Amino acid sequence: MEMELLRTNLSKVRIPEPTNRIYKQECCISFDTPKSEGGLFVDMNTFLAFGKDYVGWNFEKTGNPVYLHIKQTKKPIPEDRPLKKPTLLAIALGFLLEFLRFLRFCLCFWFNFAQHSCIGVDGGFDNQELEYDETYNIVILPDYATFPFPSVALPEKVRLAVDAILIAEGAERKEQVASWTADKKQTSEYALTLKQIDNGVIVPPSGWKCAKCDKTDNLWLNLTDGMILCGRKLWDGSGGNNHAIDHYNETRYPLAVKLGTITSDLEGADVFSYPEDESVTDPLLAEHLAFFGIDFSSLKKTEMTQLKKNLTRIPTLTGTGFKKVDRTLNHLLDLGTQDLLISLLFGCNHASCLFNSFILFTVLHEPKFENGFDIAPADPTVDLNMQLTKLANGLLSGKYSVPAVQNDDAGNAVDSSQNAKQEGIRPRMFKAVIAASHPEFSTMRQQDALEFFLHLIDQVERINAGRPELDPGRSFKFGIEERLQCPSGKVAYNRRHDYILSLTIPLEKVTNKKELEEFNKFKAQKEADGMEISSDEIVRPRVPLSDCLNIFSAPEELQGFYSTALKGKTTAIKTAGLTSFPDYLVLHMRKFVMEAGWVPKKLDVYVDVDDVIDISHMRSKGLQPGEELLPEGGPGEQEESNKVLPNEDIVSQLASMGFNQLHCQKAAINTSNAGVEEAMNWLLSHMDDPDIDAPIQKDAGGNEVDPSKVATLVSFGFEEEIARKALKASGGDIEKATDWIFNPPASGPSDMDATSSSGPAVDATLPDGDGKYRLIGLVSHIGTSTQCGHYVAHVYKEGRWVIFNDDKVGVSKNPPKDMAYLYFYERIRN
């Protein structure tokens, strides 16, 4: 009777094709896995996975009744299992490699592989990973009728579908690998011209063995002569015996494909080019395989690619490295609230991983995700709203805030130890969605925390366009008003919205000048003696946060400002203030600057911050009684104000490097005098322009900009005309355009929109309140520049500071408040 029920629902069962994404390792709307108490249910029509609490929701939404239930149960560990004792060499390597992980300067993936190869191998540390038994059942909703798998009694279509699901690589794993391979493999120059030798070799579908030794794994098929040989020997003795590379050195046959990685999805095959010394793509791989009688459509994956093998070796290391940053730290096993138990978010050397912890903590505390399930699309894995809802529920529910192992093999309770590991959550689906629209964040390359914050806020704002009440990013949004006064005494007011308050660090305001002078003498003496200075001896400048805030509002000269009252360019005085105070105030310390040679440099400076600040004095006042606005300019005046003349300093510096004077002038004009670096970049990229030697036209500087980039800046809260001018000045680079807006060059913001409103400027659409704030979080950067380093985050929660370092969470007794790159303040509500 029950089998008949299954047969009547066969139309709802699909056999997956190679192009289908199959989720079988994590629920699409929770963080349940096959190891969870209720296991995981895979929809056999859509191939989406759901935990026990949500499979019914999916059934009601889609009407799909047939599911593959996957359940993993921990295997008992034999009492007589021998424990491996680490060798002294392995112990030394462990400490050394952990120190290198802490430094992680310009960390590359191959180093990551070498770094972890000694874990879990002979002579190394036995990771004692738990093993699991996996069981499968076919379940039909709504009554949860259950049929065991495998079973010959099941319809053939069901058996084929289940086999295909189990054999296929999970979409979750594919996305993890894709983030490491976002830098697309290059097509090998040898693939299109490869000459294959017809020597009668036919490669069987299985049973391979190295032609020169007894190795049966890590085998590579040379695509020229069909030789099957083992791969390289690794430094720890594992891997192959170098027979494949030796064969190349003898024959110079360039390409080889790893056997066991060939399936109907040829893009997943591991092809290596020896002369190019890297993994490549072979667009003719199907033909090259067919030459040796290989029918790739019938092959199944039996080996991991080198990249996936490396990913599985990346373990969780102990957290001694970040103690230097945190100064005093106690390991924290259970904080009681899941929002502080965030596991590895973006991967080991992704700079945003820890920053993300705090951003999501603040954003997700906003009660705006209650209707996420109601508006979920057919595929929740690609919907940002749904993934934010999933993440909010996962963080705030406390469901995943438990140690990974709570019982012994006999089922008896075991006390939690300081070394107990917690599974936490790994929001890979969220990462895939938020990074999909960004070419940088979709990779595992080093990123800037501020960039990620702005990107996250932008994406959240876009999905809630027209529904501001549902937008959690609105809690960070505030208004900025700039007042410009020309020598005529008349004024102009410009307004924009922003999410961060970017602050210059005034080094002239240091409070420890005497100590710095003594340190510089001490340093000079040490260097003269050929001795190095220890980190404990370094004295850094200290600047109060109050001075950084004051610099933001302080009057500043703005040269090249076109005054419609004086009908010419002049020097104006600019001041700035806030039109509203957000719920959460984000302070960005400009610690990265350009030094001589246009090399990015990080300022090695401490900023003394207070736990409570009051910025009430920074509220803008708007047009005041007795002030007179600058008159509106006519068409001719507007054209005059927009006309850019070359900055002589920029021109002379470029000319001194040997560039043509006319070319230098064009470079300065076309970058709106943004600086020598911008002008040189423009010059180098336009040297071959056919009109580079043509005389400068009167309308120079009127080049067009990309409308999509304009829209991106407008979404950040900038006015459209300001965005256009900034992009024009920065050569279309959004990051430089944003910096240009914050630091306008000598041409002045003459085309910014002016307002004639009187009295304090208030935007009713933005949150507002008192100017008193309490520090609740900070993000620190460890490293010397923007191109390398690591971010750690600290959150103030329940009366104590907590550090997030990758998947390490601990109580911080002395957080590095003076070293942060970003500060998060919450407005104190009366």
* 689 closest CA partner among 663, 659, 664: 663
| Tens-digit pLDDT profile for residues 522-547 | 888 888 888 888 878 888 899 999 99
Higher pLDDT, 688 or 66: 66
What local confidence, expressed as pLDDT, does residue 634 receive?
A: 57
Asked if residues 752 and 722 have their Cβ atoms less than 8 Å apart, the reply is yes
DSSP 297: G
| Tens-digit pLDDT profile for residues 308-345 | 444 443 333 233 333 334 434 444 433 333 333 232 23
Type of residue found at 59: F
Average pLDDT for 476-502: 90
Residue 719 to residues 696, 704, 754: CA-CA distances in angstroms?
Answer: 29, 17, 11
Asked if residues 425 and 342 have their Cβ atoms less than 8 Å apart, the reply is yes
- Report phi then psi at 487, rounded to 5: -60, -15
Give the CB-side neighbour count of residue 673, counting CA atoms within 13 A: 19
Q: Which two tokens stand for residue 117?
A: 């190869």
Buried b (16+ CB within 10 A) or exposed e, 319-357: bebbeebbeebeebbbbeebbbbbbbbbbbbbbbbbbbb
Q: Which two tokens stand for residue 170?
A: 């999970």
- Its pTM stands at 0.64
Of these residues, 28, 353, 548, 664, which one is catalytic? 353
How far is the first Cα of the chain from the last one, in angstroms, to the nearest whole number? 66
Asked if residues 777 and 358 have their Cβ atoms less than 8 Å apart, the reply is yes
Q: Which two tokens stand for residue 514?
A: 């005497």
State how far the Cα of 43 lies from the Cα of 386, in Å rounded to an integer.
Answer: 18
What local confidence, expressed as pLDDT, does residue 360 receive?
A: 45
Report which secondary-structure segment, H or E, holds 68: strand 66-74
Residue 790 a catalytic site member: yes
| Tens-digit pLDDT profile for residues 256-275 | 999 878 877 677 788 999 99
Pairing of the two strands 228-230 and 219-222: antiparallel
pLDDT of residue 598 exceeding 70, the answer is: no
Residue located via tokens 């047009």: 623
State how far the Cα of 321 lies from the Cα of 344, in Å rounded to an integer.
Answer: 16
DSSP 598: T
Average pLDDT for 551-556: 90
State how far the Cα of 224 lies from the Cα of 218, in Å rounded to an integer.
Answer: 19
pLDDT of residue 377 exceeding 60, the answer is: yes
Number of Cβ within a 10 Å radius of residue 560: 21
Of these residues, 69, 350, 663, 790, which one is catalytic? 790
What local confidence, expressed as pLDDT, does residue 129 receive?
A: 57
Residue 329 to residues 335, 336, 537, 794: CA-CA distances in angstroms?
Answer: 14, 18, 22, 12
Asked if residues 149 and 137 have their Cβ atoms less than 8 Å apart, the reply is yes
What local confidence, expressed as pLDDT, does residue 636 receive?
A: 52
Q: Which CB contacts under 8 angstroms, 24+ apart, belong to 308-312?
A: 308/173, 308/177, 310/109, 310/112, 310/113, 311/176, 311/177, 311/180
What local confidence, expressed as pLDDT, does residue 676 receive?
A: 79
Residue located via tokens 């917690």: 422
What local confidence, expressed as pLDDT, does residue 756 receive?
A: 38
Confidence tier at 22 by pLDDT (50, 70, 90): very high
Residue 663 a catalytic site member: no
What local confidence, expressed as pLDDT, does residue 66 receive?
A: 95
β-pair partners for 804 = 793, 809
Residue located via tokens 């093998």: 309
**2-6, 172-176, 220-224, 495-499: which has the minimum mean pLDDT?**
172-176
Q: Is the dihedral of CA 480, 484, 489, 490 positive or negative?
A: negative
Q: At what angle do helices 88-103 and 109-116 cross, to 10 degrees?
A: 150
Residue 333 to residues 40, 396, 418, 689: CA-CA distances in angstroms?
Answer: 27, 17, 7, 62
| Tens-digit pLDDT profile for residues 742-780 | 655 433 333 333 443 444 555 667 889 999 999 999 888
pLDDT of residue 604 exceeding 60, the answer is: yes
Pairing of the two strands 808-812 and 568-578: unpaired
What local confidence, expressed as pLDDT, does residue 261 receive?
A: 81
State how far the Cα of 759 lies from the Cα of 579, in Å rounded to an integer.
Answer: 11
**CB neighbour list of residue 640: distance below 8 Å, 6 or more residues apart:** 562
- The C-alpha angle with vertex 127 and arms to 120 and 811, in degrees rounded to 5, equals 130
Residue 241 to residues 68, 222, 245, 272, 715: CA-CA distances in angstroms?
Answer: 42, 16, 9, 17, 56
State how far the Cα of 118 lies from the Cα of 104, in Å rounded to an integer.
Answer: 18
Residue located via tokens 């003719």: 284
pLDDT of residue 666 exceeding 80, the answer is: yes
What local confidence, expressed as pLDDT, does residue 379 receive?
A: 85
Asked if residues 326 and 812 have their Cβ atoms less than 8 Å apart, the reply is yes
Q: Which two tokens stand for residue 529?
A: 């003696």
What local confidence, expressed as pLDDT, does residue 731 receive?
A: 65
Higher pLDDT, 654 or 265: 654
What local confidence, expressed as pLDDT, does residue 558 receive?
A: 81
- Secondary structure string (H, E, C) spanning 760-798: CCCCCCCCCCCCEEEEEEEEEEECCCCCCCEEEEEEEEC
Average pLDDT for 184-209: 87
Type of residue found at 269: A
What local confidence, expressed as pLDDT, does residue 407 receive?
A: 46
Residue located via tokens 């540390």: 125
Mean pLDDT of the chain: 75
Type of residue found at 692: I
Higher pLDDT, 459 or 73: 73
**56-65, 213-222, 654-663: which has the minimum mean pLDDT?**
654-663
Residue 74 class from Cβ within 10 Å (0-12 exposed, 13-18 middle, 19+ buried)? middle
Residue located via tokens 């209707």: 371
Asked if residues 492 and 541 have their Cβ atoms less than 8 Å apart, the reply is no
DSSP letters, 242-283, are: SHHHHHHHHH---EEEETTS-SS-GGGS-EEETTTTEEEB-T
Q: Which two tokens stand for residue 770?
A: 């008192």
What local confidence, expressed as pLDDT, does residue 594 receive?
A: 55
Pairing of the two strands 584-589 and 501-503: parallel
Residue 366 to residues 360, 575, 581, 801: CA-CA distances in angstroms?
Answer: 10, 33, 17, 21
Q: In this prediction, what percent of the chain has a pLDDT beyond 90?
A: 27
pLDDT of residue 399 exceeding 90, the answer is: no
Q: Which two tokens stand for residue 498?
A: 């922003």
**Binding site membership: which residues?**
210, 213, 230, 243
- Report phi then psi at 117, rounded to 5: -70, -20
pLDDT of residue 425 exceeding 70, the answer is: yes
β-pair partners for 239 = 233
β-pair partners for 256 = 222, 272
| Tens-digit pLDDT profile for residues 120-149 | 333 333 445 568 899 999 999 999 999 999
- Report phi then psi at 142, rounded to 5: -90, -5
**Binding site membership for Zn(2+): which residues?**
210, 213, 230, 243
Length of the chain, in residues: 830
**70-84, 207-221, 570-584: which has the minimum mean pLDDT?**
70-84
Three-class SS state of 135: strand
Q: In this prediction, what percent of the chain has a pLDDT beyond 70?
A: 68
Residue 405 to residues 130, 300, 340, 402, 414: CA-CA distances in angstroms?
Answer: 10, 34, 19, 8, 8
